[in-house]
Amino acid sequence: MTQTNKSTERATEAKIGIFFDNSWHPSYNNRTIPVINPTNGNAFTEIAAGNAADIDCAVRAARAAFDGAWGQLSATERGRLLSNVGLLILEHFDELATLEALDTGKPMKQAKADITAAARYFEYYGAAADKVHGETIPFMNGFFVTTEHLPHGVTGHIIPWNYPAQMFGRSLAPALAMGNATVIKPAEDACLSSLRLAELCAEAGFPPGAINLVPGSGEVAGAALSSHPGIDFISFTGSPEVGSLVQIAAARNHIGCTLELGGKSPQIVFADADIEEVIPVVTAAIVQNAGQTCSAGARVLVENKILTEFTKKLSTAFSELVVGTPEMDLNLGPLINQTQHRRIKRYCDQAETDGVPLIASGRVADDVPAGGYFVAPRLYGPVPLDHPLAHEEVFGPVLSLIPFSDEEEAVKIANGTDYGLVAGVWSGDGSRAIRVGRRMVAGQVFINGYGAGGGIELPFGGMRKSGHGREKGFEALYEFSASRTLVIKHG
């Protein structure tokens, strides 16, 4: 039996239900959602369609854990449990990578990188759990003042389908490190690895109720989680539209939230950049995960002086790209679902209608199955600044090339969208690269490099419509906690 078949079988036998108190339970309404294989459009298993009653069970389980055994553990003990999960993920590496590839359609090498990153989140936050210190604050004579960081209580986590296993680790590990009890609602389009990771958390020794998971649709289970009065904080990653709904729900309950809502991230390439170094990075930054990455480098801004040479080289790189199934392990896989497929096609059709030049495109491998959501990566340019391709998030393998004539214009164009997630600046002039980099409206800026989604240790998050709050690194630990100031009068 092949690894894929084993994973399919495992997914099919997967507990169709909701996960709370460390075991599977039937959902209240017994409804299910089919899980579609993006490489052929066929359903191969199903997941529970959790509803508000299921969310309520999960939140109650989390509250009991927070008030009980889980809440009693020391930071060191919590860290040890997280580290155990990291080890278990590595022990189940092939199984998880195969499941992730099957569920999302991504190439095996990308799925493997994702599972490594998922493990890394648990390793990182396992080691960090007992290293979050308060401070002492000079105050009036006769007083001693200190602060400590406390968990919020029960935290809700709504994650997207693009990097399911990574997102599970990115969202839950820092929350657990700080002592929160968690309820996660993974995305209906891809959540099989999350179901398995929840089981591995139980196996790692987490007390019942620390980690609870309710699969289901966004409109039902997601909305129920974000509006549940028993939630003390919510973390959301997904579209700006749903992000607004989550924030409104959080506001009604007077709780905090972090929102990570995507972007239209620019990379500025000055004429003195090392073009040979730039081309593969710019290409990878948009084709990684078929462009379905919040921090994808979706715009490349090129100084006019090198436009012809740069365009030629990038065009060659794009025309060599091939799309295929996970097993083919090519440059990129299919899009996640039919909606995404139609959406990307709509953008490309509009570009054609509007006369935006198609500079180059890759191709879909000849022998991919029929019915899959494959789309060839495309490079357009010069893209007019008022065209949707210049400022809207496509969330697919479509790169917009935009020329500029000087530093001032580059900064204006780069900062000229509603988003502000990541930016890249390429230049052989170190002073200019840093100067321009520091003018970017973005939560993360790369100088002479670019990392779409990389860096567990690096604080990450948006400005403007890209959202607010920070994940990853130590900053996530502060998001998932609140400080308390202790003022002691000693005379």
Residues of this chain that interact with ligand NAD (CB under 6 A) are 158-162, 185, 187-188, 217-219, 222-223, 226, 237-239, 242, 245-246, 260-262, 294, 393, 395
Which residue is closest to ligand NAD by CB?
218
- B/e letters for 42-73, b = 16+ CB within 10 Å, e = fewer, are eeebbbbbbbbebbbbbbbbbbbbbeeebbeb
Q: Which residue lies nearer to ligand NAD by CB, 79 or 377? A: 377
Give yes or no for a contact between 162 and 38, defined as CB atoms under 8 angstroms apart.
no
Whole-number minimum distance, CB 461 to ligand NAD, in Å? 11
Burial tier of 436 (Cβ tally within 10 Å: 0-12, 13-18, 19+) = buried
- Closest CB to ligand NAD among residues 245, 447: 245
In the bound state with ligand NAD, the residue whose beta carbon lies nearer, of 197 and 294, is 294
Pairing of strands 32-37, 42-48: antiparallel
**E-assigned strands of 295-441?**
297-303, 322-323, 358-361, 363-364, 378-380, 398-404, 422-426
The nearer residue to ligand NAD, 191 or 410, going by C-beta atoms, is 191
The size of the chain, in residues, is: 491
Q: To the nearest whole angstrom, how small is the minimum distance from the Cβ of residue 468 to ligand NAD?
A: 13
- For the annotated catalytic residues, the residue numbers are 260, 294
Q: Tell me how far, at minimum, the Cβ of 59 lies from ligand NAD, in Å.
A: 14
The DSSP 8-state label assigned to residue 461 in this structure reads -
Q: Give least dist CB 199 to ligand NAD, A.
A: 20
Q: How far is the C-alpha of 19 from the C-alpha of 58, rounded, in Å? A: 8
Of 210 and 294, which CB lies nearer to ligand NAD in the complex structure?
294
User: How far is 221 from 49, CA to CA, in rounded Å?
Assistant: 8
CB 261 within 8 A of CB 238: yes
Complex with ligand NAD: residue 246 or 302, whichever CB lies closer:
246
Can you tell me the distance from the alpha carbon of 333 to that of 325, in angstroms, rounded to the nearest whole number? 6
CB of 163 to ligand NAD, least distance (A): 8
- Contacts (Cβ under 8 Å, ≥6 apart) of 348: 375, 378, 398
Q: How far is the CB of 158 from ligand NAD (least distance, A)?
A: 5
Cβ-based neighbour number of residue 95 at 10 Å: 17
Rg of the chain over CA atoms, in angstroms?
23
Q: Which helix (H) or strand (E) holds 243?
A: helix 240-252
